[in-house]
Structure 1
Amino acid sequence: MPIYVYWGEDDFAMEKAVNQLRDRILDPLWKDFNYSYFAPDQTDAAIAALNQAMTPAFGAGGRLVWLMNTNLGQQCPENVLAELTRTLSVIPDNSYLLLTSRNKPDERLKSTKLLKQFATEFREFALIPPWKTELIVQAVQQAAETVGVKLTAKTAEVLAESVGNDTRLLHNELEKLRLYNIDNQTALDLNTVSKLVRNTTQNSLQLAAAIRTGDTVKALTVLTDLLNAAEPGLRIVATLIGQFRTWLWVKIVTESGERNPQAIAQAAEVSNPKRIYFLQQEVKSLSVQQLISVLPLLLELEVSLKQGVSEISVLQTKVIELCQICRRN
């Protein structure tokens, strides 16, 4: 009963895992007979996938049945739950059932508990939060090592700033760098990486910095660049919320009298205590009340975007308001 459940927002990493699973299970000569996928808009997709998974593989290799973008981890009708209960424990050993979703399965549901009970792999593909820059740099270094690209610490930082937490873009940029440097075993220099890597020159963290200093003109310029680069509004807001929460916690804990960088880092959920000094300098001119006042506006902005309000207009308006809060003495 080989069952695989993948979920998360990192579409590229999940896609790679699906391709690896498919290549491992299927015999190329028998692929047309043994590979099926069911889209969420298909009628009774879950029931059809489960029935298909019960069919032993033809010829060589195994059978792979892929239930794509399923919501069985969020809601499961009684008839589908009954079919899951009946089927999961008796799927043939050479038949593999794969379920994928962007949303995390609700562990309170009976369907999720069943899947966890029988799953060979129950795996999340999560994006690194954009404001956790140290983790993004680590991910860049790990990916570069896998692809075979040698980077210095500085070029890894530059690449991380350019691609953020977009793993697909990171892979594309690393592949470009690998081909450029294919006959050279030395690490790529900063000048080469800066010229070759796509860089929008602005990111959401730079927008947060401009808002923090109350620089309305710069903040609006950065926002325009982000929108022109097709950066989703909700992703921009998620980064701003994360960054301002970090600044707020650093400020609160520091003003409480705590001087130990490790204690402050733990309270603010900052992975590298060495960053605390710089974060303290960044919020030195802001009060706790100013930082607290920022968060409700950001949450209002998030709600507005989810309700379908004009993205450009509401982002510009809220950015101006946020700058005004941070500019107050």
Structure 2
Amino acid sequence: MPIHLIWGDDYEASNRKIQEIIETVIDPVWKSFNHSQIDGNDPTQNFKALEEVQSPPLGSGGRVVLIRRSPFCNSCSIELANKLEQAIKLIPDKTHLILNNSNKPDKRLKTTKLIQNSIQKDKNSQEKSFILPLPWDINGQRNLVKNILHRLNLKMNHEAIDLIVESIGNDSSLINTELQKLTLLAEAVNEKFTEKEPLEIQKELVKKLIHNNSTNALEIANLLLKGERITALEKIQSLLQNGEPALRLITTLTGQSRGWLWVHLLDAQGNQDVKEMAKIAGIANPKRIFVIRKQLHGKSLETLLTLMKEFLKIEASIKSGTNPIDSFKDNLLTQSKILTNN
């Protein structure tokens, strides 16, 4: 009765692990018969999943029942818990149940204890967690980049890694995508490249592809800080029309705003240690503190808080399905009118 409990907010890593299990277990010829994906937010589908998981695979290979947003280790009804207790004993050896949720399992729940005990008893079962580092955990973000580099058989020095951390942060999916682009560029310019040895990505190449991508976003942030919202919106619209991912843009803006807030607060407290300030503010390069101080000259805490609130509202709006440019306009122009009227 193989059970795979996969949780955490690193969706790219979780999905990669799930795909690895599916490819290992299922015979591609029989995939349409032996692969089920269930939405755990739907109670009726959860009961359906527990029925399906009791069935052996058709043809060769195994069967996989995947429950996305699984409720079994976080918020499970008594009826569903009783059904799980019955079904878990009847899972065939070649049928794999994958339980996936972004939240950490609640060890107090009876269902969580049941699942984790079953995993411990079965050598083919496993629990895997994939957690993204917090936005201010620079070392954690560096390790995230290093892990992806290792998986892609790449290497780069600490300065190049810091450039990626500054430009992308803890978005593992975007880091993976950008590193794959860098791989193609590095292979094209490296005549001695062999697949046996890790491919080295030079800092200059990282600057070309990634660091420059964030330059426009940082320019937009500076315009907003100066109050030049119409010009900033024109640049935002141009970036979005040229294919810039809206969430990457707002992530960069939010990260810049968060750094401004921390530097402003630490300066107000009289902190003069730039290395300590950079660590607290989540800024990889301490030298940026001097640049940020110049940008913030004469700016009030209220201005910085307003910008941060706007960026968070824009991000929420985009994630809820609103057209990105409308999200930017609705929040930035509305606030601009309020400030003008005041």
How far does the alpha carbon of each residue in 1:59-115 deviate from its partner, in whole angstroms, 9 at most, with x for none? 9865433224545566544432221233346645554311234x4357386655655
Decide which moves more: 280-289 or 40-49.
40-49
Q: How far apart are the structure 2 equivalents of 1:6 and 1:199?
A: 36
Cα displacement (A) at 1:31: 5.6
In structure 2, the partner of 1:82 is 82
- Deviation of 1:123 after TM superposition, in Å, equals 1.8
Unaligned runs of 5+ in 1: none
Q: Check if 1:51 corresponds to 2:51.
A: yes
Task: Show the counterpart of 2:130.
Answer: 124
Contact in 1 for aligned 2:30/2:60 (Cα 8 Å): no
Q: For 1:260 and 1:159, how far apart are their aligned partners in 2?
A: 24
Distance 2:209 2:67 in 1: 39
Task: Flag the 1:203–1:323 CA change in 2: closer, same or farther, 3 A.
Answer: farther
Residue in structure 1 matched with residue 103 of structure 2 by the alignment = 104
Q: Tell me the amino acid that sits aligned with residue 130 of structure 2.
A: E
Question: Structure 1's 271 and 200: CA in aligned 2 closer, same or farther, altered over 3 A?
Answer: closer
Alignment of 1:19-58 (within 5 A): 19-26=19-26, 28=27, 32=31, 35-40=34-39, 44-55=44-55
CA distance in 2, matches of 1:12, 1:303: 20
Q: Match for 1:147 among 139, 144, 152?
A: 152
Alignment of 1:309-328 (within 5 A): 311-320=324-333
SS at match of 1:259: coil
The answer to which of 168-177 and 157-166 deviates more is 157-166
Counterpart amino acid of residue 12 in structure 2? F
State the 1:155 CA deviation. Answer: 5.6
Retained in 2: the 8 A contact 1:250–1:264? Answer: yes
Is the 8 Å Cα contact of residues 73 and 109 (structure 1) preserved in structure 2?
Answer: yes
Q: Would you say 1:256 and 2:255 are equivalent positions?
A: no
Q: Shift of residue 257 of structure 1?
A: 1.8
Q: Is the 8 Å Cα contact of residues 186 and 201 (structure 2) preserved in structure 1?
A: no
Q: Is the 8 A contact 2:38 2:65 kept in 1?
A: no
User: Which whole-Å deviations, capped at 9, do the CAs of 1:101-140 have from their partners, x for residues lacking one?
Assistant: 4x435738665565556553142354875x8787666644
SS in 2 for 1:64: strand
Q: Tell me what 1:17 maps to.
A: 17
TM-score, normalising length: structure 1: 0.70
Which residue does 1:67 correspond to in 2?
67
Q: Work out the CA distance in 1 between the residues paired with 2:319 and 2:59.
A: 49
Q: Which SS does the other structure have where 1:99 is aligned? A: strand
Structure 2 portions without partners, runs of 5+? 120-125, 194-198
Counterpart of 1:180 (choices 162, 185, 188) is 188
The Cα shift of 1:319 comes to 3.3
- SS where residue 48 of structure 2 aligns? helix
Structure 1 vs Structure 2 CA RMSD: 4.7
Q: Paired residue for 1:219?
A: 232
Q: In 2, are the aligned partners of 1:72 and 1:111 still within 8 Å (CA)? A: yes
Deviations 1:127-175 (A, max 9, x none): 875x878766664454344323454566656666777731452354145
Query: How far, CA to CA, are the matches of 1:301 and 1:19 in structure 2?
Result: 32
Tell me the CA shift for residue 184 of structure 1: 1.9
One-letter code aligned to 1:36:
H
Rate the CA distance shift 1:205–1:195 in 2: closer, same or farther, 3 A: closer
Give me the whole-angstrom Cα distance separating, in 2, the residues matched to 1:260 and 1:191: 29
